[in-house]
Chain A
Amino acid sequence: MSRRLPFHEGVAVLILAVVLSPALWLLQMSFRHNADILTPRLIFAPTLENYTSLWTGQFPDSFVNSLLASSTSTAFSMVLGVPAAYALARWRFRGERHIALWILATRMAPPIAFTIPFFLAFTWAGLMDTVLGLAIIYVTFNLALVIWSMRGFFAAVPRSLEEAAWIDGCGVWSAFVRITLPLSAPGLAATGILCFILSWNDFFYALILTRTRAMTAPVAIVNFMQYAGWEWGKIAAAGVLVMLPVLVFTFFVRSYLVSGLMAGGVKE
């Protein structure tokens, strides 16, 4: 007999509070004067100076760069990946398994394996320190994600609906656009957002492949950390700003995160 004790709920809430406390600490730190940060006092006079001081300097530019690079890469990956995902969902062909493995393999390689060749190629092509360059290298992980994720969503659309359209003389792709796409809209949105989040969170590629013009927000924060004096308040404020879009977007796609995570994993 299982009693509906709030015991498990209570324990879960407790654990959640402990788990979230580091992030919450960062949040409250962003509202402290730098002098207050060195003291362990829990009560303090809040201030917005950390946030306002971020608007001078290069942080706003880097934020914009992050937005541009993430959106562009997401757009590239969706445009390329969605048709491919549909083809893989509906078309049985030889070599399908090899392609599936290949797509999985791209997820496995450590970023440095890509960074070295891309660095050399971008230098030659003049794409170093450009938002476009970042968008291109982000495709290496976004495209695979889009294909895997959307394939699952497309497979969930009943084939019969499309077949009905085909019988009526519709071409494969016009049926796709008219029937499959609208039905998979939530999946499209979720996948797009997932791509955006993954691109936004990137640190390594941006660190190596950008300098001054295309520097993204995560790299800009690290720049603060290297200034003498360790302006922790400013660092915390920058950290909060960088994590905000991600948290907002995650809230909207939380139910799709599992399938996105399992892309390439367990049989669906």
Chain B
Amino acid sequence: MATIATRGWAAEQRRSFRLGLLPALLVLAVVTLGPALYLVVTSLTPLTPVNPDTAFDFSDPLGNYKSILTTDEFWASVWVQIELSVVTVVTQLAAGLGLALLLDRPSRFLEALRTGFLVPMVLPPIVVAIIWKILYTPDISPLHHLLAWLGMPIHSLITNASTAIWAIAAADTWEWFPFTMLMLLAALQMVPKEPQEAARIDGANAIQLFWHVRLPYIRPTLVVCVLFRLIDSIKAFPLIYVLTDGGPGGATQVTNYYAFEQTFSFSYWGYGSAVATLMVLGVFVLSVVVNRLGGEAIDE
């Protein structure tokens, strides 16, 4: 059989592939590396548009960073972020896993139902925010009306500092549990049959079956879920913007929102850039850590 492994062909092939890859890489570089560089450079200045002189003022390059690290509001936002991320990731995993286990059955009906469960995840996030704004506004909320009718009226959840963050977490979980559900369902369906059969024959009940046989196989997927949901939880914006605007009193002001406010409400561009830079670094470190802890789930 003739091969095409001649030197001329290999070189031509390489050139072709390079040609196909290059434009994308170039554009990617321009739209990602360029802005990244710009972000870091801006973070070294006290840039604010009110005063054009600040654009190239490098007299105190680490000034913004020093200010961030000594600002209580920043650390408060980090703490809120941690709270929100932990709660949402855990509940989304739990809900997703529970539903995946429920749907992991050879049933055409259940397979068709799966599409319905996708809805919260694919809705535009702003629509999700509006839906939950309605649910959390006592005057018009069916939830509030129902509870009042049942004799258990509750106060507004999003204006109460102790419940606001959980209200947001609930909305966020509703929005994103389909993600973990889909991933875990796919993983569960890839668990080999023999070990499960063997365990069943040995008399294992459902819980033992899950814990000892299926869990090890889906563990890499669990780690990926945690990683993706963790990273995405740091980007949470429309829910907070519509439901609480970071309030009450900063109770729902995550770091992303803090950066948004500093940059776009007060026009502290340099400072906001520094916060954004720290966020990117934080996300990066987080991914590395999760990856290490979870084993080599992300490969290649």
Cβ contacts B93-132/A at 8 Å (1 or 0 each): 0000001001101010110011111111011111100111
Q: A15–B99 contact, CB under 8 A?
A: yes
B14 at the A/B interface (Cβ < 8 Å)? yes
Q: Cα distance A116–B24 when bound, in Å?
A: 23
Q: Are A26 and B127 in contact (CB-based, < 8 A)?
A: yes
The yes or no answer to B39 lying at the interface (CB within 8 A) is yes
| B interface residues, tally (CB under 8 Å) | 93
Which of B120, B221, B300 touches A100 (beta carbons < 8 Å)? Answer: B300
Interface residues of B in 15-55 (CB under 8 A from A): 16-21, 23-25, 27-28, 31-32, 34-36, 38-39, 42
Question: Interface segment, B82-90, B139-147, B153-161?
Answer: B139-147
Those of A129-156 within 8 Å (CB) of chain B: 136-137, 139-140, 143-144, 147
**Complex CA–CA separation, A254 to B272 (angstroms):** 38
CA distance A14 to B99 in the complex (A): 12
Known contacts: A172-B16, A208-B264, A232-B134. The answer to whether A201 contacts B125 by CB under 8 A is yes
**Do B134 and A118 touch (CB < 8 A)?**
no
Closest CB of chain B to A51's CB: distance in Å?
A: 16
Note all chain B residues with C-beta closer than 8 A to A208.
264
Task: Specify which chain B residues have a CB less than 8 angstroms from the CB of A83 in the assembled complex.
Answer: 19-21, 23-24
Contact A9 B131 (CB under 8 A): no
Query: Separation in Å of the B98 CB from the closest CB of chain A?
Result: 9
Q: Which of B32, B102, B134 contacts A29 (CB 8 A)?
A: B134
Given A84-B23, A265-B298, A108 contacting B127 (CB threshold 8 A):
no
Question: Which residues of A have CB within 8 Å of B235?
Answer: 110-111
Within 8 A of B (CB), among A152-210: 163, 166-167, 171-173, 197, 200-201, 203-204, 208
The answer to whether A8 and B105 touch across the interface, beta carbons within 8 angstroms, is: yes
Closest to B132 in A: A22
B236-291 residues with Cβ-Cβ distance < 8 A to A are: 237-238, 241-242, 256, 259-260, 263-264, 269, 272-273, 276-277, 279-280, 283-284, 287
In contact, B14 and A91 (Cβ under 8 angstroms)? yes
Among candidates B123, B234, B264, residue contacting A110 with C-beta atoms closer than 8 Å: B234
A236-259 contact mask (Cβ, 8 Å, vs B): 1 or 0: 100100110011001100100110
* Chain B residues within an 8 Å CB radius of A104: 298
Chain A residues positioned under 8 Å from B126 (CB to CB): 201, 203, 218, 221-222, 239, 242
**Residues 175-199 of chain B, each 1 if its beta carbon lies under 8 Å from chain A, else 0:** 0000100110011000000000000
Q: Number of A residues contacting the other chain (C-beta, 8 Å)? A: 90
B107: chain A residues within 8 A (beta carbon) = 8-9
CB of B4 within 8 Å of the partner chain = yes
Please report the C-alpha to C-alpha distance between residue A38 and residue B242 in the assembled complex, in whole angstroms. Answer: 20
Please give me the residue from chain A that is nearest to B260 by CB atom: A112
Chain B residues with Cβ below 8 Å from A218 are: 124-127
Q: Does B115 lie within 8 Å of A23, measured CB to CB? A: no
- Whose C-beta in chain B lies nearest to the C-beta of A106? B32
Question: Which residues on A sit within 8 Å (CB–CB) of B16?
Answer: 171-173
Q: Which A residue's beta carbon lies closest to that of B234?
A: A110
> Which residue of B is nearest A9, CB measured?
B109
Give per-residue flags for B197-232: 1 if the beta carbon is below 8 A from chain A beta carbons, else 0.
000000000000000000000001100100010010
Q: Is A235 a contact of B287 with CB atoms below 8 Å?
A: no
Tell whether A59 is near chain B: CB-to-CB under 8 Å. no
In the complex, how many angstroms separate the beta carbon of A223 from the nearest chain B beta carbon? 11
Given A120-B269, A267-B300, residue A87 in contact with residue B21 (CB < 8 A): yes
Distance in angstroms between the alpha carbons of A99 and B25 in the assembled complex: 9
Which of A11, A19, A143 has the most chain B CB atoms closer than 10 A to its own CB? A19
CB distance from B172 to the nearest CB of A (A): 13
- CB contacts (< 8 Å) of A45 on chain B: these are none
21 A-B pairs (CB sep. < 8 Å):
A25-B135, A83-B19, A84-B20, A84-B25, A86-B17, A87-B20, A91-B17, A93-B14, A108-B287, A110-B235, A112-B259, A112-B276, A117-B35, A117-B39, A118-B35, A201-B126, A239-B126, A254-B115, A258-B182, A266-B221, A267-B299
Question: 7 tightest CB-CB pairs across the interface, nearest first?
Answer: A84-B24, A83-B20, A117-B35, A172-B16, A40-B145, A117-B38, A218-B126
Name 11 extra pairs, CB < 8 A, besides A9-B109, A139-B27, A203-B241.
A19-B120, A23-B120, A25-B131, A93-B14, A108-B283, A116-B263, A144-B28, A163-B4, A171-B16, A239-B127, A262-B183
